[in-house]
Amino acid sequence: MAEKTILITGGSKGIGLACAHAFAAEGAKIVICSRAQANIDEALKTLPGAIGFAADLTSAAEAAAMLEAAEQQCGPIDVLVSSAGAARRSPPDELTPEFYRAAMDAKFFSTINVVDPLVKRMAARGAGVIINIIGAGGKVATTTHLAGGAANAALMLVTAGLGTAYAAQGVRVVGINPGLTETGRVAEGMASDARLAGITEEEARARAIARIPMGRMASPEDIANAAVFLASDKAGYITGITITMDGATSSVIV
């Protein structure tokens, strides 16, 4: 990764921040993006030499402006790790068309608004890697995560399609589907599930871990390590697929 420029959306917290640290350890130049400047400032304290841009990636215009500013300041982006956005959870009887639309904005379009212009730039240059951090909810339906799961499923299809469309132009597109991971975002979802089930958060967490054959949630670093590998030349023949990392929770053929 030495001398390569890595753009990480959602890079101020959780999996995104872990990816920033992992790529930095490999000698890459790090650019992070987040909605809140305060979160960027806090993350940059732990990332010497990195830079950050604040943008609301649900806006195509803001996403395009962020990308333009990043490439003007840092040069061409070699690798994009898209880890921005998450959809709220809701019981099925509280879902509305507006809720589904908000979920698509929060997860699908916060990814696509960066991926779409950047994959075309990468194709014109004849090189690049895009890694979409998606989520296992797009593969296995959960009643409290239908809207967000639908957005994740759409991203899985786009990942496969773009990987095929741009393979001949030197661009690889890969997805990672993390299962439950030790992040603040998952903790918030766990609290929501606990309220819906009428149990404590500790009980909800214990039940969730009991369903994971490996006996623990993933750490953000687990996901980041996979992202670094997939971005490297050692994964140079991997594209158009989404890899599930859920500790063997979903026993399905992929």
Burial grade of 56 (CB within 10 A; 0-12, 13-18, 19 or more):
middle
Residue 69, pLDDT score: 97
Query: From CA 5, how far away is CA 68, in angstroms rounded?
Result: 14
pLDDT (tens place) for every residue of the chain, 254 residues total: 888 999 999 999 999 999 999 999 999 999 999 999 999 999 999 999 999 999 999 999 999 999 999 999 999 999 999 998 877 777 778 888 898 899 999 999 999 999 999 999 999 999 999 999 998 877 877 777 788 889 999 999 999 999 999 999 999 999 999 988 888 777 777 777 777 778 888 888 888 889 899 999 999 999 999 999 999 999 999 999 999 999 988 877 66
Residue 208, pLDDT score: 85
Q: Which helix (H) or strand (E) holds 32?
A: strand 29-34
Enumerate domains of the chain plus CATH numbers. Answer: 5-245 (3.40.50.720)
For 22, the token pair is 């992992």
Residue 254, pLDDT score: 61
